[in-house]
Amino acid sequence: MKIAVIAHNGKKAEMVSFLLGNKKFLEGVDLVSTGTTGTHVEKAGLEVHKFLSGPLGGDAQIAALAAEKKLDMVVFFRDPLDKHPHEPDVQMLMRICDVHNIPLATNQATAELLINGIVAEG
Q: What residues are annotated to the active site?
A: 59
Query: Three-class SS of residue 49?
Result: strand
Query: Whole-angstrom Cα distance, residue 85 to residue 69?
Result: 27
Torsion of CA 95, 70, 106, 109, to 10 degrees: 140
